Structure 1
């Protein structure tokens, strides 16, 4: 089974990723502000379904494949690091916007809210990169069945993401209002996120492959 120290470190990585502005966060905040908390929560359950697809894909075979082929692992590791740097640049580039600057969305019915949340997460490159480059580093054949380890890590990531995103959906209107009254903090939030992402990229690039 996954050692507790690795599970805690993985939880921190999952927390940092979910706090990083991306398609899921932007959609949930905008939906909650435009259509209310209920719409935000329904959309979140769609996002949760997308997480299950990503997790099962990794658990069924991707993780074992990338651990077994060092070259594939190295390629994905560097691809993950470069993508995190890209996200950091997106946060601070000229004209960048904070996710708390809500986008205007038309009201949708519950089923469409669920489907849009599902598709937003299913096609979210940030989550795909997380499962393909960061996720395998915490799986090792020495710790038992790769499939079971993948499920433990996957449900841990889903739990962290669901908790944070639920808090965001329920408090989006209040947070957006606060940032609107304190616009300087929008820039601070973006630069803090960029710094965290760059730090994650550096750690990922220097991380050694486990289980060898």
Structure 2
């Protein structure tokens, strides 16, 4: 098990990486603003849970395939791109309607938002490579099983993501009442903004390299 000195370095380093604005955080904030606090929390939990998959992949050595195989990297990457564009298309279909206050608009439930966050994280090979590079730096042979140490480190990293992203999702959700009070036009603007977020994330992922 990692000793106390390792945790003193690992936790601040993890927090610094988590709070840096990135695609996951942008996606989370957009969901919270559009859907509310509970939606923000559900999305945060989904994004965090995806880290457990990448932790397992790094621990078992599976994630190394994305470093060594261009085909595997591209396959997962474009699966993620396709998923993001699918989400953009879903929002685009209802962009001309009033989000949040019309029964004809399909508003995703919390379970679906959790799955969206989870899949967005899992289908990003850059995250897999991050865990493969980051976790081993804090695992020491003299401290026992490297695999167990990496699993513990990945679990703690995920808990930190839950806390930080949960707070961010909750805060973003507090802005939704303000958006609703601004009327139908603002809700449409919010919907188109969300479409833009999905498309921007898809482009960013499509341009990602190993």
- Give the TM-score normalised by the residue count of structure 1: 0.58
Aligned ranges 1:76-91 → 2 under 5 Å? none
Shift of 1:135: 1.4
Measured after TM superposition, the shift of residue 128 of structure 1 is 2.5
Q: Check 1:173–1:39 CA distance in 2 against 1; reply closer, same or farther (3 A cut).
A: closer
* RMSD of aligned Cα (Å): 2.8
1:33 to 2:19 alignment: no
How many Å separate the matches in 2 of 1:166 and 1:109?
Answer: 17
* Equivalent runs, 1:89-100 vs 2, <5 Å: none
Unaligned runs of 5+ in 1: 66-71, 73-103, 178-212
- Alignment of structure 1 residues 98-117 onto 2, 5 Å: 107-117=107-117
Residues 62 and 14 from structure 1, CA distance in 2 versus in 1: closer, same or farther, beyond 3 angstroms? farther
Question: Which 10-residue stretch deviates more, 111-120 or 27-36?
Answer: 111-120
| Structure 1 consecutive aligned stretches of length 4 or more whose deviation exceeds 6 Å | none
Residue-pair matches, total? 140
2:158 counterpart residue number: 158
Deviation of 1:42 (Å): 1.4
From the superposition, tell whether residues 126 and 167 of structure 1 become closer, same or farther in structure 2 (CA, over 3 Å): farther
In the alignment, is the contact (CA less than 8 A) between 1:39 and 1:110 conserved in 2?
yes
* Contact 1:23 1:120 survives alignment (8 Å): no
TM-score, with normalisation over the residues of structure 2? 0.58
Partner of 1:61: 61
Larger gyration radius, structure 1 or structure 2: 2
1:161-180 map, 5 Å: 161-173=161-173
Native 8 Å contact 1:23 1:124 kept in 2: no
CA positional deviation for 1:35 = 0.6
**Mapped partners of 1:60, 1:48: distance in 2:** 19
